[in-house]
Amino acid sequence: MTLGDYLWQWHASRRKIQPTTLVSYETHIRVHLVPHLGHIPIDRLRVGHLQSMFDSISDRNLQIDIARCSDDVQVRASVRGVRRTGPATMQRIRATLRKALNDAIRTHRLIEFNPAAYVELPSVQAPRARVWTSAAMQQWKETGLRPSSVMVWTPEQAGAFLDHVEDHDVFVYPIVALILHRGLRRGEALGLRESDVDLEGRTVTITQQLTTVGYRPVIKIVKSYAGDRIIALDASTTTALRIYQERRERRQADAAWPKTGLFFVQPDGRQWHPEQVSDRFERLVARSGLPPIRLHDLRHCAATFLKASGSDLKDIQEVLGLSSITVAANTYTSVVHELESERAKAEAASALVPRRSGAVVGTSARHPQEDDSGGPPGTRTPNLWIKSPRGLNNPNLKQRSHLRKRSLKLSSMDLRHPLGARMLATCRYLERERPRVQLRGVTAQLSRKTAQSAGVRWGVISCIATTRPLHLLCANEA
């Protein structure tokens, strides 16, 4: 049996899977697997055969790129509408073949080795979302290239687009407003039923979606447990939906109005085709004069604005119906830093840090009398657990070994070391042995001995032992 014969039989036997998955399997088999590998007997299939197929796909991608850059009009026209096979699609092709061969091993007992599990493919990295800042817009106008395939508008750009859509397409406007403000997927918004929208309670219940199988629109349940959710509506979106509902009810008086049960319908009452909404959205973006984004990018805008307004990642996960909080963290924490609101927060946080008089913010000038602690004398207590950049000869590096000795006694201290190390080690020892001891006399005696040997003056501000860990508040001067 050849691999092509087996793949078509395997595809016909698949029953308990989603229709969209079945269409994806059929496309991979018809376009890639059978043309490249269909003639090979299934028990003769090896890793090298699969590697040759993916090499051929990469070569075809290169030919498409070269043709698109050609000066010949006919050459460019030959690849117009031809799509490249990207790394993510290659991974899905391999996954289809791996699943089919696994069934050949476990169920049909045709082979004992799955070469699809050992072929190497380039890794796939999800594109990072970027904000259409002024610098990004300037680059796009000069080169025509987007900084990323996933772009996000600023709040000002999003508001300008909503105003434009409200003036030019009143039936698409409520869909766009709902996706932009509450982050619904395209299929989730178009699949809303009239009973799912509660304008009095200002909530929307998401249980199904309108998607496509091939190009045929179908209604199916949301793809994950997290997608089945109830979200609250803001006042602006509620007003837009109420105005749309009143306009739609006036049109429903016509006897020819079809009853689809869906909340969002076309001006004649028929249900929307998902691709039709995307096409109208792209035309509206082009006419608005704003930098381009996809309809799905409105969902990224919603998440970015939620994060910038103070919502945590768990809130974003629940509103967007994400299955994992990791997706929200990896996608939106980097985008929000490009917004102006985050720059204001950064300035406010920086203003909380006090600086010495005359210091220039943002510079790294050193004090002329800076000591080994990393700052001017008398301004801070040295932290012996932090390495100093002054080099290995810094005595702090030698003192750390003493701090790790929990059983260190006062008699074993080296009085030539700075008083801070001896004091800290002594107090830790006494705290472990006698937690209720009063340390005033001990510290006074220790300070007198140290003053005689090291010439250090020590002022004990507070040294009271309690049942909790000890805290010494000290100040030293050279």
Q: What is the pLDDT of residue 371?
A: 45
Q: 262 vs 242, 270, 384, CA distance in Å?
A: 15, 9, 68
- Could you give the CA distance from residue 25 to residue 31 in angstroms, rounded to a whole number? 10
Amino acid at 119: V
Model confidence over 218-258: pLDDT tens digits?
A: 888 887 888 889 999 999 999 999 999 999 988 887 778 88
Q: Which residues pair with 232 in a beta bridge?
A: 203
Torsion angles phi and psi, residue 208, rounded to 5: -140, 170
Q: Which residues pair with 206 in a beta bridge?
A: 229
- Could you give the CA distance from residue 228 to residue 323 in angstroms, rounded to a whole number? 11
Residues of the chain with CATH 1.10.443.10: 144-251+258-343
- Could you give the CA distance from residue 374 to residue 475 in angstroms, rounded to a whole number? 16
Is the pLDDT reported for residue 422 higher than 80? no
Q: Which residues pair with 197 in a beta bridge?
A: 204
Which CATH superfamily, name and number, covers 3-117?
Tyrosine recombinase, N-terminal domain (1.10.150.130)
Strands (E), 306-366: none
- Whole-model pTM: value is 0.65
For residue 9 the two structure tokens come to: 């039989």
Give, for 301, the enclosing helix (H) or strand (E).
helix 297-308
Q: What is the pLDDT of residue 411?
A: 40
Is the pLDDT reported for residue 193 higher than 80? yes
Question: For residues 185 and 278, is the Cβ–Cβ distance under 8 A?
Answer: no
| Closest CA relative to residue 381, chosen from 464, 294, 286, 459 | 459
Q: What is the pLDDT of residue 357?
A: 61
Give, for 5, the enclosing helix (H) or strand (E).
helix 3-12
CATH number attached to the domain at 144-251+258-343 = 1.10.443.10
- Could you give the CA distance from residue 466 to residue 475 in angstroms, rounded to a whole number? 21
| Closest CA relative to residue 339, chosen from 174, 105, 154 | 154
Model confidence over 75-114: pLDDT tens digits?
A: 888 888 888 898 999 999 999 999 999 999 998 899 999 9
Higher per-residue confidence, 27 vs 125: 27
Residues of the chain with CATH 1.10.150.130: 3-117
Pairs from 440-444 (Cβ < 8 Å, separation ≥ 24): 440/464
Is the pLDDT reported for residue 431 higher than 60? no
Q: Helix crossing, 313-320 with 325-332: angle to 10°?
A: 110
